[in-house]
């Protein structure tokens, strides 16, 4: 598998709290994409971060990429109940071009 | 701009029956992907096309699954003889170009239950 086993499976938090989820990957990559999937919907892209960008922000979202440790993180500040979803990291495998998705982290935000 | 459209939304089959899933990608997107997402797992690539050509179908169970994109626009994924292990959501996505920097847009998927 492209992905390691450190992905946290599920988090339950209260609205307003911050949350961070992590992915580790086994083979070299130049980009990691983060997706959010709400119940009954397909995944939607949140952030794309490249190897020359150690950090990237979009609104309340912040992604990091550490190529030396082959890991990426996604943080959400000031969570809302509408952030409740499964969050996936994705990257193409070595030599491939289609995205391979991690196992996902389920985030449940209570009002 | 219309998103990726998939139909049907749901399908329930008995083992051994056949089913087809249809996908209409975003207009102008040359690359189309089919993913299988078992319950509580991440999407797993089955096949993807650049225009009408299959780029990678190495993960497609070729004895029962087939996928076509004859005019480089819409696509159909077919399961000839469904098994209970095929129970999953089938997601279609499209992008402009391939590669790690491409933005994928997914449809809402077709939920398949094989009993």
Please measure the distance between the N-terminal and C-terminal CA atoms of chain A and give it in whole angstroms.
36
Closest-CA residue of B relative to A3 is B42
Q: What is the pLDDT of residues B63-84, one digit of tens each?
A: 999 999 999 899 999 999 999 9
CA-based nearest residue to A3, from A106, A97, A95, A100: A100
> Å from A80 to nearest chain B CA?
22
- Number of A–B residue contacts, CB under 8 Å: 57
> With 0-12 CB in 10 A as exposed, 13-18 as middle and 19+ as buried, what is B10?
exposed
pLDDT at B74: 97
Cα A52 to chain center, whole Å? 18
Q: Would you say residue A51 lies in a domain?
A: yes
Q: For residue A42, give its domain range.
A: 10-110
pLDDT cut 70: percent of chain B above it: 99
Cβ distance of A97 and B100 shorter than 8 Å:
yes
DSSP A25: B
What's the number of domains chain A is made of?
Answer: 1
Going by pLDDT thresholds of 50, 70 and 90, the confidence category of residue B98 is confident
Higher pLDDT among residues B9 and A69, named by residue: B9
Q: What is the pLDDT of residues A10-66, one digit of tens each?
A: 999 999 999 999 998 877 788 899 999 999 999 999 999 998 998 999 999 999 999
CA-based nearest residue to A88, from B104, B26, B60, B98: B104
| pLDDT at residue A77 greater than cutoff 80 | yes
Q: Is B86 helix (H, G, I), strand (E, B) or coil?
A: helix
Of A42, A44, A92, the CB nearest to B109: A42
Among residues 58-87 of chain B, which lie with CB inside 8 Å of chain A?
none
Q: Would you say residue A69 lies in a domain?
A: yes
Q: Would you say residue A5 lies in a domain?
A: no
CATH of domain B19-97: 2.60.40.10
β-bridge partners, A12: A108
- Cβ atoms A107, A21 nearer than 8 A: yes
> Å from B10 to nearest chain A CA?
11
DSSP B103: P
């Amino acid at each position: 598998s492209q992905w390691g086993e450190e992905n946290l499976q599920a988090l339950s938090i209260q609205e307003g709290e911050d949350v961070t989820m992590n992915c580790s990957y086994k083979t070299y990559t130049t980009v990691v994409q983060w997706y959010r999937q709400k119940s009954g919907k397909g995944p939607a892209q949140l952030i794309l971060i490249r190897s020359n960008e150690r950090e990237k922000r979009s609104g309340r979202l912040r992604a990091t990429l550490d190529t030396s440790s082959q890991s990426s993180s996604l943080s959400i500040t000031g969570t809302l109940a509408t952030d409740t979803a499964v969050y996936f990291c994705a990257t193409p495998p070595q030599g491939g071009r289609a995205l391979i998705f991690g196992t996902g982290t389920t985030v449940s935000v209570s009002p | 701009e219309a998103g990726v459209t998939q139909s049907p939304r749901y399908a329930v089959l008995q083992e051994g029956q056949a089913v087809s899933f249809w996908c209409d990608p975003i207009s102008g997107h040359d690359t189309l992907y089919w993913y299988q997402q078992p319950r509580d797992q991440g999407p797993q690539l089955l096949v993807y096309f650049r225009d009408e050509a299959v780029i990678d179908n190495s993960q497609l169970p070729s004895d029962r699954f087939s996928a076509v994109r004859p005019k480089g626009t819409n696509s159909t994924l077919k399961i000839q003889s469904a098994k209970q292990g095929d129970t999953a959501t089938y997601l279609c996505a499209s992008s402009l170009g391939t590669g790690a920097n491409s933005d994928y847009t997914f449809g809402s998927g077709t939920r398949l239950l094989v009993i």
